[in-house]
Amino acid sequence: MIKNPKKPIGAAYVRVSTNDQTELSPAAQLREIKNAASADGVPIPDEYIFIEEKGISGRRADNRKEFQRMISIAKTNPSPFQYLYLWKFSRFARNQEESMFYKSVLRKKCGITIKSVSEPIMEGMFGRLIESIIEWFDEYYSINLSGEVTRGMTEKALRNGYQAAPCLGYRAVGEGKPFIIEEKEYEAVVFIHQSFFNGMDLASIAKEANNHGYCTKRGNSFDRRAVERILKNKFYDGTVTWNNISFQGSHEIRKEVTSVFKANQQRLKQEYRPRNRREVSACRHWASGLLICGYCGASLGYHAGSKTGHQSGYFQCWRYTKGLHKESCCISDKKAESLIIKSLQHVTAAAGTSEYTKRAVSDQYLEKQQLESALEKLRARKIKIKTAYENGIDDLEEYRAGKERLKKTETELKIRIKSIESSKNAMDSHNRDASLCRISSACDILTDQSVSSEAKGRALRSVVKKIIYDKKSGEMKFIYYIHLP
């Protein structure tokens, strides 16, 4: 019997794994926990009973909502309960690293005593040693169970059991039984296979599917890749595949798809073109990666004319190419080159500079970029600690401490950035002219036919951050790295 003049309060944490057929049900676990707590003279209020949904894995704590809610409440200063009762230590966690971490938080930081009803252990270092041994066995059981589950699933597949996640157009019924058709979803499958058989390309099918209101299995819009996956999925032709094990399924298949399935596979093989592998630093065109779609902000990918049937190369929004939006944002490479060179020439002419002095990028400029990048990461961290506080993971004291620490670092970064900017503004106008000269030099490199595409790309990227192309007006907006006068 626990003797405490302050009448300590207890809490109960209950979790049941679907893989362990021998353990007690949640109600039975809770009953045993309450009996043990009652014998200790510790009441357990209903608000401090934490029961996970059935089948939640103990391998990762962040997947268990009730566990996280329990930790959050326990970290309230002071903790509203002083004892935590479990049916088994394995209910707490099957991962020893997480188990040790959270137990340490509860015991040392929150002053909570953790008790296993079915595995009573003595106090002191010998009791902790026994508890650690139990945790080692629990983790071993979890790892071994994973292998047993995989073997069981393999045996199920060999016996023609259905167990993979159902694809678009089908719904699982459980117990390894054949999937059944979802009529609304299957309409999209029929549309895709029939459209491809009738000559439409993948991007056009994706656009039309989105226009019809069809969605992928996850509720997303279609793109070329999603359409291609459906066309290649042998499940629609009756073949079930799991982990390289295939068998002829007994699920329902329909002629609208099966009658064109083989023909579609043949067309896919004929139109397959392996991607040309190239070094990451290589430029397909010297403006590649800089042009931005004025409609959606995506990059304009470059397509060589000889490989696409066009007389010349062109840039096109990759989202449009994949069928993710309707508006085309296409521009020929010749027109793009002309507009880019004209912009550079206009800038240098307006600045009244034609000479160029080769200068390396200053260390201060690079340092400022690094500091600004660190500042962006700091803002993201501020959002994270605020979210942790709002979700109850951190208490107010922890949130304040983290906020003050980030604020101090942010102030130091801003002071250093301001110092660099002040130093830059204090320089004479020669540095600004030198920056403008870099633009003039880049323009000279772009108009030199003897210079390679890679060299032209490096020259343009040294002065231009991005170029936004407005298809409607036919104009380009240039974002330079330097502030132009």
The residues assigned a catalytic role are 17
Distance CA 97, CA 187 (A): 48
Q: What's the burial of 292, exposed, middle or buried (CB within 10 Å: 0-12/13-18/19+)?
A: buried
Q: Hey, how many other C-beta atoms are within 10 angstroms of the C-beta on 19?
A: 15
Q: Hey, how many other C-beta atoms are within 10 angstroms of the C-beta on 106?
A: 21
Long-range CB contacts (within 8 A, 24+) of 26-34: 26/51, 26/54, 29/87, 29/91, 32/87, 32/117, 32/118, 33/85, 33/86, 33/87, 33/117
- Overall size of the chain counted in residues: 485
Distance CA 278, CA 282 (A): 7
Q: What is the DSSP letter of 105?
A: I
| 3-class DSSP state of 387 | helix
Distance CA 371, CA 386 (A): 23
First to last CA, the chain: 82
- Do 478 and 292 form a contact (C-beta atoms < 8 A)? no
Per DSSP, helices labelled H in 164-201 are 183-197
Strands 180-181, 170-171: pairing kind? antiparallel
DSSP 140-157: HHHHHHHHHHHHHHHHHH
- Do 75 and 16 form a contact (C-beta atoms < 8 A)? no
- Do 321 and 327 form a contact (C-beta atoms < 8 A)? no
With a CB cutoff of 8 Å and minimum separation 6, the contacts of 442 are 344, 459, 460, 462, 463, 464
Type of residue found at 152: G
Distance CA 363, CA 171 (A): 60
* Secondary structure in 3-state letters for 407-448: HHHHHHHHHHHHHHHHHHHHCCCHHHHHHHHHHHHHHHHHCC
Encoded tokens for 454: 């890679």
